[in-house]
Structure 1
Amino acid sequence: MNSSTQMAVTATARRTPAERFRRQSRSRLFRADLLTVLAWSSVAFAVALWLADGGAAGFSTLAGSFTALGIVAGLAGMDLVLLMLLLAARLPVIDGAVGHDRALEFHRKLGKPSLYLLLAHGILIAIGYGMADGLDPFSELVALWVLVPDMWLAIVSVGLFIAVVATSLVAVRRRFPYELWYAVHLLTYAAVLTSIPHQFSVGGLFAEGTWQRWYWLAICIGTGAALAHYRFLEPLVATARHRLAVSRVVTEGPGVVSIELSGRHLDELAGNGGRFFVWRFLSPGAWWHPHPFSLSAEPVLFDSPGRGTLRITVRNLGRGSAQLARLTSGTRVAIEGPYGLFSTAARSRNRVVLIGAGIGITPIRALLESTPFEPGSATVILRGHSEQELYLGDEILELCRRRGATLFHLTGPRTAGGQSWLPESAVRSGHRLASYAPDIADADVYICGPSAWARSVIGEARAAGVPEEQIHNERFDW
């Protein structure tokens, strides 16, 4: 092999990881776009089926027009509710395309439109039926409640939807502990179940032999099956398969502990980088409290079948997490996941910049250990008020030395008013994010830390020319 051929082969080898990441990114973005098209198409398809079954005939009279508009609003509202459930079902196809936190963000955004459509459905139907019967809308609703067997369930369903949407508002949600909010949110399932009977028993909308009947039966059963499998069956199977138990609890700093767990088949959990799991520690007073934590290190394997240990690092941020420091050896652990896109699956470039603050440093440490990069093509930035807040800092330093990553420790207070994510000393010196990572515009940027701090970093990354698809930030707050 001559020198020119060797250089061509070497250049091709060097391009391979970058090309792989770009193909991976294009595929993920295509899947995200496809899911968006399918979601909105499902609403159009539901209305189109109704029109194909003669629904347009209802617009021939004024009363019929109100009734027809009410039916359209009900079909669209119910379709959005089922989409909401699928977005919260933790389907791998959705999680792998848009990430868990963005799926839940879309889920929340659909809450108000679906409620408004369902309310419009009830009001328009009452007006249309009332005009046909010579009654006012309120009297028509009372008549429907009394005379139609399943109608009371539909009205109860709307009331439940109102309760769920109202408690999902940010200002209201933050007043509740997570467990109470979650319990109220489970009413969504009750709301859907109580809404179904009247759809099939009132009028001929879903009459036997129509395409609409089979379509709605299919999507209702499919949605229910997806929820049952991914929200309940898979976590039970994973818990039984991995048999996780607490090995020991190690203090990492004030209010911060690492929990080491032993289990089986842990090789199946390796390589997940900063993706998170939902943990339930099956001890008195703690078993009912779910904790979304990332691994802070890749599993350490001992022998077949994947026996070994894994580790999470947590900070005391409330009553629930405070209990974890008192866990005893042998405590069994239930597990769900992994979830999210804070991992190599989100990579689109060969270069990578990892930025963490506070307890958000721990998934950065796991990602640093597992994501592939060439020596010199990774930058790690750790932010804390003091060196004590750079949790697992010694481990990260050793990983950077071994893998050839550039490491920056940025400590000290923020500027007055917290305008910048950087310490005040760096701001006074004129430093910006690009000062630490000059090639950041051609890198994947992973950011994990407190929400307000992360927004500041994201803003500066955008200002430095980093495209949106190269910025990766996973939120674990509810």
Structure 2
Amino acid sequence: MAAVGASAARAALWAVVLVNVVVVEILFVAGGAGKNDVLTVGKFLGVHAALLMMVQLLLVARVPWLDRRLGMDRLTAWHRWVGFSLLWAVVLHATVVVLGYATLDGAPVLRTFFALAGVVASLLGMAAAAVVVTVAVLSTRWARRRLSYETWHALHTLLYLALALALAHQFLETTTFTANAWAAAYWWGLWILTVGAFVGGRFVLPLWRNAYHRFRVSAVVPESDTVVSVHVTGRHLDRLPARAGQFFIWRFPGHNRWWQANPFSLSAAPDGRSLRLTAKAAGTTSAGLRAMPVGTRVFAEGPYGAFTALQRTRDAALLVAGGVGVTPIRALLEEAAGDVVVLYRVQTEADAVLLAELRDLAAGRGAQLHLLTGRTSEGARPFDPANLARLVPDLTGRDVFVCGPPAMTAAVLRSLRALRVPARQVHAERFSLA
């Protein structure tokens, strides 16, 4: 079953990481001793900082096999936590190395620091550490809330510079994995595979797919005063491995600036002939889609996400949507099989995007559709445990797919836990770049 596939992917990922950590530690013990015990500890921390950097790259490499089973949001969350582990490993490595050389030379710590800065290999390592610390500070919630996404993302790409500096530092450093040719080959082989996966997933595959499919805007259809659907066509779309529930990162060069990118879900199941995204005017980029001319070139990265029917573990399903979060739910309903219930939460029926399509699809598939209206502030709480159990009495026997505003999604997930719906049957994904 697909859920087993997700568990297997998680187990496989961390098993690969763990096995390589163990192998590297064995190689380190066999030949990684420093000039004194303090420097040996510093080298040990440096090796593990490099391993954490490899894991960081792998988690955001957008490897299709992992992304399709685990989802970009989960991989990105792991990337964030590994990032803070990397920060402490880098800081401790740098601190212990300076202390180790100060102890070895019998010199003051500050003088030792400046002496090491005069050595090219050490200076490169210091520069890499400074970049990692800077990006980590800018990634804290306090700093992140004060920066636009574009600014934060541009600063975050400084980690590529840190990677280059760290690799140069390791290459020039001649005291670790150099005494044994097999150890050196293993270490640099890990780096080649990791960087290769990152470059392939983030650059080579998107460039190849866009050159091959040649995406273009074929129609722009207003759905309401604030919502618009964009139809995209191209060559050989039947060979694009997209599923209902997935999303792409969309760019419209020529209409918007190149760095303006948005993650929009497919609002219709891919049919091999065209793709459709439906977006609400929540910002300058999405608001401008309404004026986009037919024929505009499209650069699409994806498909991404594990919010698909591949995750189903039961014959019955509950699809829960809120606001414009209905777009992947509508696509899932289009290809859904079995007993399906749809809950669509909006303030008023006028806010219900794609409602006519949902009703047609529900009627054609024998699905139940409940439109849940009203303001939460006025007492409308359909996702409280008691209300949710009343709407869907056999809830624990269904897979549940949830997509909507963060507050609504959190409320639904809390109620599902209270109602003891097994975690393996609950599927929620945040479609976001950061």
Fold similarity call, TM over 0.5: yes
Matches within 5 A, 1:311-390: 311-371=276-336, 373-374=337-338, 377-390=339-352
Change (3 A) 1:88 1:54: closer
Query: 1:383 corresponds to which letter in structure 2?
Result: R
Deviation at 1:208, TM superposition (A): 5.7
Q: Which residue of 2 is the match for residue 17 of structure 1?
A: none
% identical equivalent positions: 36
Question: Which SS does the other structure have where 2:414 is aligned?
Answer: helix
Q: How does 1:73-472 map to 2 (within 5 A)?
A: 73-146=45-118, 148-207=119-178, 209-269=180-240, 272-300=243-271, 308-371=273-336, 373-374=337-338, 377-415=339-377, 424=380, 426=382, 431-472=386-427
Q: RMSD across aligned C-alpha pairs, in angstroms?
A: 1.9
TM-score normalized by structure 1? 0.87
8 Å Cα contact 1:273-1:366 kept in structure 2: yes
CA gap 1:96/1:145 in 2 versus in 1, 3 angstroms: same
Per-residue CA distance 1:407-458 (angstroms, 9 max, x = gap): 1000010036xxxxxx627589x95211111111111100000111100111
Match of residue 44 from structure 1: 22
Give the deviation of 1:54 after TM superposition: 5.2
Contact 1:380 1:407 in 2 (8 A): yes
TM-fit CA distance, 1:68? 1.1
Counterpart contact for 1:200–1:207, Cα < 8 Å: no
Shift of 1:36: 1.8
- Which of the two has higher C-alpha Rg? 1
Q: Is the 8 A contact 1:272 1:370 kept in 2?
A: no
User: 1:173-214 deviations in whole A, cap 9, x for unaligned?
Assistant: 122222111111111111011012222323421316433321
CA distance 1:65–1:337, change in 2 (3 Å)? same
- Equivalent residue, structure 2, for 1:473: 428
* Distance in 2, Cα, partners of 1:388 & 1:221: 54
- 1:51-105: CA deviations, max 9, x gaps? 02253xx5xxxx7221111111111111111101110010123213321110000
TM, length-normalised to structure 2? 0.95
Aligned to 1:68: 40
Q: 1:27 to 1:285 in 2, by over 3 A?
A: closer
The answer to whether the 8 A contact 2:31-2:177 is kept is no
Q: Which runs of 5+ in 1 are unaligned?
A: 1-22, 301-305, 417-422
Contact 1:270 1:299 in 2 (8 A): no
Letter in 1 for 2:278: T
Q: 1:31 aligns with which of 9, 29, 36?
A: 9
Q: Which deviates more from structure 2 when the two are superposed, residues 256-265 or residues 330-339?
A: 256-265
- Compute the displacement of 1:156 (Å): 0.7
Conserved 8 A contact 1:357-1:449: yes
Q: CA deviation at 1:249?
A: 1.4
Task: Report the secondary structure of 1:211's partner residue.
Answer: helix
Shift of 1:284: 4.2
Q: Any conservation in 1 of the 2:237–2:274 contact (CA below 8 Å)?
A: yes
Post-superposition offset of 1:170? 2.1
Instruction: Assess if the C-alpha contact under 8 Å between 1:244 and 1:334 holds in 2.
Output: yes
Residues 95 and 162 of structure 1: CA distance in aligned 2, closer, same or farther (over 3 Å): same
State the Cα deviation string for residues 110-169 of structure 1 (Å, max 9, x = none).
1111111111111111111111111122211211111x2222111110111012111211
What letter is aligned with 1:238? R
Aligned to 2:358, the other structure's residue is in SS state helix
Rounded Cα–Cα distance in structure 2 between residues aligned with 1:398 and 1:298:
15
Output the CA distance in 2 between the equivalents of 1:472 and 1:143. 54
Report the count of equivalent residues.
433
Q: Which has the higher contact order (CA 8 A, sep 6+)?
A: 2
User: What CA distance in whole angstroms lies between the structure 2 residues aligned with 1:271 and 1:380?
Assistant: 22
**Which amino acid letter does the alignment assign opposite residue 139 of structure 2?**
S
Equivalent residue letter for 1:32: R
